[in-house]
Amino acid sequence: MLSTTVTETGQITLPDEIRQHLKLVSGSRVEFIIDEDGQVKIFPLTVAVESLSGILHQPGIQPASLEDMETAISEGANDWA
């Protein structure tokens, strides 16, 4: 397992093995995602969006339909009215 130290300003240095694996170079941008299990995942922003499809999939949960989403948005908006 690889580890690093967080500085006072919240910065870290990614271990070389991680930088190589993600193909990161100076100036590369990354994105952090907290998944449904609370685990933090890091993704290089040079990755095509299509390759991220399904990363937060939860087995057994059916995708929401457009109608379901519209209803949830409407109900949420009514809660704030």
Q: Rounded to 10 degrees, what is the CA torsion of 42, 46, 49, 53?
A: -40
pLDDT at 58: 72
pLDDT, residue 7, reads 96
Instruction: State pTM to two decimals.
Output: 0.52
Task: Please write the tens of the pLDDT for every residue from 16-50.
Answer: 999 999 988 888 889 999 988 899 999 988 766 66
Give domain 1-55's CATH architecture.
Answer: Ribbon (2.10)
The beta-strand segments (E) located in the chain are 30-34, 40-44
Whole-number Å distance between alpha carbons of 63 and 51: 18
What's residue 26's pLDDT? 86
Backbone angles phi, psi at 74, to 5 degrees: -60, -45
Distances (CA, A) of 5 to 16, 29, 50, 51, 80: 14, 20, 32, 30, 42
pLDDT digits (tens, 9 = 90+) for 42-73: 998 876 666 667 767 777 878 788 998 898 88
